C-alpha cells in the first residue's frame, strides 16, 4: 500500500475503548468485533459472512478512531455496493 508506514493513521489523543454512543443502539459487540474496533494499528480488513455485523463494527471503528483524535478526512471506508455505502454514511451521520 503506497504511503502507508505501518503506523497508526494519526496520533491518538487518548487510548480509550469504544465510546458507547458509537455502538448501534441495543447492539453489543462480540469479542472479535471489539478487537476490530479497538485495533491499534493502521488499516484493518474485515471478512465475514452476511449478517455478522461488519457494518456496525465498521461504524464503531470509525467513531472510535475519531474519538481518539484521528482526522475524519484520513479515514477510508469501503463497502461492496452503493446501497451498503449509503447505509454506512447514514449510520456515521447519526
Q: 10-14, 31-35, 73-77, 89-93: which range is least confident on average?
A: 10-14
pLDDT over 70 (residue 19): no
pLDDT digits (tens, 9 = 90+) for 34-78: 889 888 878 888 888 988 988 888 888 988 888 889 999 999 988
Is the Cβ–Cβ distance between 46 and 58 less than 8 Å? yes
Distance CA 65, CA 29 (A): 16
The share of the chain scoring above pLDDT 90, in percent, equals 4
The residue that leads in pLDDT, 21 or 66, is 66
Give the CA diameter of the chain.
39
- pTM beyond 0.75, yes or no: no
Is the Cβ–Cβ distance between 17 and 68 less than 8 Å? no
Amino acid at each position: 500500500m503506497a504511503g502507508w508506514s505501518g503506523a497508526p493513521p494519526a496520533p491518538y489523543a487518548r487510548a480509550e475503548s469504544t465510546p458507547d454512543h458509537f455502538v448501534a443502539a441495543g447492539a453489543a459487540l462480540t469479542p472479535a468485533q471489539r478487537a476490530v474496533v479497538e485495533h491499534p494499528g493502521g488499516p484493518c480488513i474485515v471478512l465475514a459472512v452476511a449478517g455478522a455485523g461488519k457494518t456496525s463494527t465498521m461504524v464503531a471503528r470509525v467513531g472510535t478512531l475519531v474519538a481518539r483524535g484521528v482526522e475524519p478526512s484520513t479515514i477510508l471506508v469501503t463497502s461492496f455496493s452503493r446501497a451498503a455505502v449509503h447505509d454506512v454514511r447514514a449510520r456515521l451521520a447519526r
